Amino acid sequence: MNPTIGQPLKRVDGWLKVTGSARYAAEFALPKLVHAALIQSPIAKGRLTTLDLAAAKAAPGVIDILTRANGPHFPPYPADLTKPGSPGENRVPLQDDELHWVGQHVGVVIAESLDDARYAVSLVRPDCAAAAPLLTLDDPAAQKNATMPEKWVGTEELQVARGEVAAALAFAPNEYRLEVIYTTPIENHNPIEAYSTTAHWTAPDQLLLHDATRGIKQLQKVVANAFQLPLENVRIVSPFVGGAFGSKGFQWSHTLLAAAAARLVRRAVKLTFTRAQMFDSAGQRAETVQQFAVAAGNDGKLTALHHQTTTHCSPVAEYPEPCGNMSRMLYACPAVEVSHRLVHLNYTTPCPMRAPGEAPGVFALECVVDELAHQLRIDPLQFRLTNYAEEDEFEKKPWSGKRLRECYARGAEKFGWAKRQPAPRSMPAPDGSLLGWGMATAIYPAKQQPAAAHAILSADALLTIRSATHEIGTGTYTTMSQLAAHALGLSLENVHFELGDSQFPQAPVNGGSWLTASVGSAVLAVCAELKKKVVELAGSWPNDIAGLKDALARSDQPQIEAGAKAEPDKEEREKFSFHSFGALFVEVRVDSLGQVRVTRATGVYDVGRILNPRLARSQIYGGIIFGLGMALMEATIPDLQTGRIVNANLAEYHVPVCADIPEFDIDFLDEPDPHMPDLGARGIGEIGIVGAPAAIANAIFHATGKRVRDLPITPDKLI
């Protein structure tokens, strides 16, 4: 039978996607489905005094309007989801009349058609008692309420120090020291598919949801808690998610509002965000200000690294963007201090966006390293090798596997780094534009979460495996099918992987780049369990399909089922520091108008075993393109008087398109991590973005001699 692991197989769900037969959350046709549109706060801070609904109620097609007056009094979200540092909304909707940002949800119009619902919303007249909002990080009133969060998502230490940072900085002569500030703007997740919830009460105490979520089991818990139902009375079916970019993994008010609206009108209700609502209704990446003080000795070795981050959060949550986490250990350095400060502003609650913390944090760190190398007249790649961390100096543990030196060497070789002229503006391109070469390190944690799977082997030797995981575009259907085919020696055609249903066995939120290690382990475990059962029945595992059918026919069971659960190996996790690594080299051309084109991107990644190089490469392309958008284009721009987002659309919030894509040369070391479970694969969903903005910014410096420390690097900053 076919070998499946390591093959560049096409997506098993590709056909469904390109033909439009893959069903996304907004595409489930239900009988008598009606449409909802959100009523939102027009002000950034204050109180809603009255909500005049008369005109809206009289508008064509309107069935009812859900507000605090007639809506449910939701109990608080489950306590484990709202600890300080946890992502997602902390407050249930319709709790009181306080307004904390423009766009906060205050009600829902339900109408026969989407147009009717949206038109009626335009007729709602909210009266508000407005207060002066806090809208900038440096507002003294906001500064006064700044906090120093302890942990990120309950695990990562946000305030850490080792060694004598102040002394090392004071000791370093000026030419060996650098103090700079890097800033990144608010950024918003803009996957093609907007958030969408379709809620259908199939009985007074039975709720079916189609929701654009990558956290089915968690959302089931959130919704069951909100409506005080047993878990199993809430079913979420979501076989495809149209991209997440870090969103869709946490609790937000629209899911509960859609379910409450459906209960109010006793009809199935669909609530889909407009593109503008993607900017104010369910998370964003916080603005960051990152202050650095670094020093090195005359041997080029870092002697001190101080990385202070300030980010914003809404007034009603405690989620910090953890920019300093990789600074704790990416380089060897005896004196390191990392801190995070949180300032509460009147903007919507931020949450993780692809590579939370790493994306802005490693951008800044990898630019600072480039700046210091330049200042010391050391090649930036050589500088990184000089400061190579042989172990994780923060956790004081050996790496589970780190072959970053090989990534640097192979990447440099493929890219032609040796031909780089060190001085900025020294490599003009034939077309008269300035050519620049830059590089950066990529790093991302390699995690695993508990996960379970169920397997059914039918009489005709078709294997179905189920787990409540998700397909957000990363290729879950394909890689999980590959793993099962590999484990049992079946061909891919005989394996059917099912996901996206809360009735399936437990799987984690599809985040943190841990899906493959988590759900993949469960798939391998359930296959082993199934194999054991067949061997018990048949004496051995048949080595072809005919033999398998035969064995099944001889058994007196219509089908054979197995269940299994996989958990991280606690001892291994204690012993080692688990991370993936990569080295990215880019070429940019900058024309006389300050327009930047990224022409080449060469990356070599150490991410453990590669299950499917076609999908793996696609993940890295996506990550780098995401990083390109972050480097050159993406910025959510609030009006600093009102707190409204002025570019809440894809015409003015720029993201990369086909014409922006560089020529890629992406390679993997493809060495299994001996301490990761089973096949030794680490996650690849997020590492692609990490390092990309810095490599581009460093290349722009090399091209132009201008060091832009404020993202995005738009033409106005270069001319």
Catalytic positions are: 686
- Span between the terminal Cα atoms of the chain, in Å: 60
Question: Which residues, 512 to 541, sit near ligand MOS by CB under 6 A?
Answer: 512
Nearest distance from residue 224's CB to ligand MOS, in Å? 23
Please, are residues 282 and 254 in contact by the beta-carbon 8 Å criterion?
Answer: yes
Query: Which of 354, 384, 589, 644 is the binder for ligand MOS (CB under 6 A)?
Result: 354
Nearer to ligand MOS, 352 or 643 (CB): 352
Q: How many residues bind ligand MOS (CB under 6 A)?
A: 8
Tell the smallest beta-carbon distance from residue 302 to ligand MOS (Å): 27
Residue 639 tokens, joined:
């009006």
Site for ligand MOS in 664-693 (CB under 6 A): 686
Residue 589's nearest CA partner among 389, 399, 385, 432 is 432
- Residues with Cβ < 8 Å from 640, sequence gap 6 or more? 135, 136
Q: How would you write 457-483 as a 3-class SS string? A: EECCCCEEEECCCCCCCCCHHHHHHHH
| Shortest spacing between CB 634 and ligand MOS, in angstroms | 15
Burial readout 466-498 (b: 16 or more C-beta within 10 A, e: otherwise)? bbbbbbbbbbbbbbbbbbbbbbbbbebebbbbb
Provide, rounded to whole angstroms, the least separation between the CB of residue 188 and ligand MOS. Answer: 13
Asked if 283 is part of the footprint of ligand MOS (rule: CB under 6 A), the reply reads no
473 binds ligand MOS (CB under 6 A): no
CA distance 469 to 511: 11
For residues 681 and 675, give the distance between their C-alpha atoms in angstroms, rounded to a whole number.
10
Phi-psi category of 670—alpha, beta or left, where left has phi over 0 and alpha has psi -120 to 50? left
x-or-dash string of contact with ligand MOS, 238-257, rule CB under 6 A: --------x-----------
Q: Choose, by CB under 6 A, the member of 93, 356, 508, 520 that binds ligand MOS.
A: 356
Least distance from C-beta 194 to ligand MOS, angstroms? 17
Angle between helices 545-554 and 515-538 (to 10 degrees): 60
> At closest approach, how far in Å is the CB of 246 from ligand MOS?
3
Residue closer to ligand MOS (CB basis): 103 or 511: 511
Main-chain dihedrals φ then ψ at residue 39, nearest 5 degrees: -95, 130
Site for ligand MOS in 190-229 (CB under 6 A): none
Query: Can you point out the beta strands (E) in 131-240?
Result: 151-152, 156-157, 160-162, 177-184, 196-203, 206-211, 234-236
- Report the amino acid identity of residue 670: D
Tell me which residue of 369, 386, 383 sits closest to 327, measured CA to CA. 369
Beta strands in 591-698 (DSSP E): 596-606, 663-668
Pairing of β 46-52 and β 125-130: antiparallel
The yes or no reply on residue 489 touching ligand MOS (CB under 6 A) is no
Per this entry, what is the length of the chain?
719
Q: Which listed residue (133, 324, 500, 511) binds ligand MOS by CB under 6 A? A: 511
- State which residue, 64 or 686, has the beta carbon closest to ligand MOS: 686
Residue type, 652: E
| x-or-dash string of contact with ligand MOS, 334-353, rule CB under 6 A | ------------------xx
Question: Nearer Cβ to ligand MOS, position 92 or 355?
Answer: 355
582 binds ligand MOS (CB under 6 A): no
Task: Pick the closer one to ligand MOS by CB: 213 or 303.
Answer: 213
Nearer residue to ligand MOS within complex by CB, 246 or 380:
246
Which C-beta is closer to ligand MOS: that of 370 or that of 686? 686
Question: Shortest approach of ligand MOS to residue 249 CB, angstroms?
Answer: 6
Q: Counting contacts by CB under 6 A, is residue 88 touching ligand MOS? A: no
Other beta carbons within 10 angstroms of residue 145's beta carbon come to 13
- Closest CB to ligand MOS among residues 124, 353: 353
Interaction between residue 149 and ligand MOS (CB under 6 A): no
CB-nearer residue toward ligand MOS: 352 or 608: 352
623: contact with ligand MOS by CB under 6 A: no
Nearest distance, CB of residue 689 and ligand MOS, angstroms: 10
CB proximity list for 294: less than 8 A, separation 6 or greater: 177, 178, 179, 302, 304, 305, 306, 368, 369, 372
CA distances from 650 to 23, 280, 625 (A): 24, 14, 16
Omega within 30 of 0 (cis) for the link into 712: yes
Torsion angle (degrees, nearest 10) of CA 142, 145, 146, 150: -150
Cβ 513 to ligand MOS, closest distance in Å?
7
Tell me: does residue 187 bind ligand MOS (CB under 6 A). no
**Smallest distance, Å, CB 362 to ligand MOS?**
14
**Nearest CB to ligand MOS, comparing residues 606 and 686:** 686
Number of neighbouring beta carbons within 10 Å of residue 593: 10
Assess contact for 585 and 412: CB atoms under 8 A. yes
Please, which residue, 512 or 608, has the CB nearer to ligand MOS? 512
Contact track, ligand MOS, 99-118, x by CB under 6 A: --------------------
Min. distance of Cβ 120 from ligand MOS in angstroms? Answer: 35
Joined together, the tokens standing for residue 461 give 């030797």
Are 278 and 194 in contact by the 8 Å Cβ rule? The answer is yes
Binding site for ligand MOS (CB under 6 A): 246, 352-354, 356, 511-512, 686
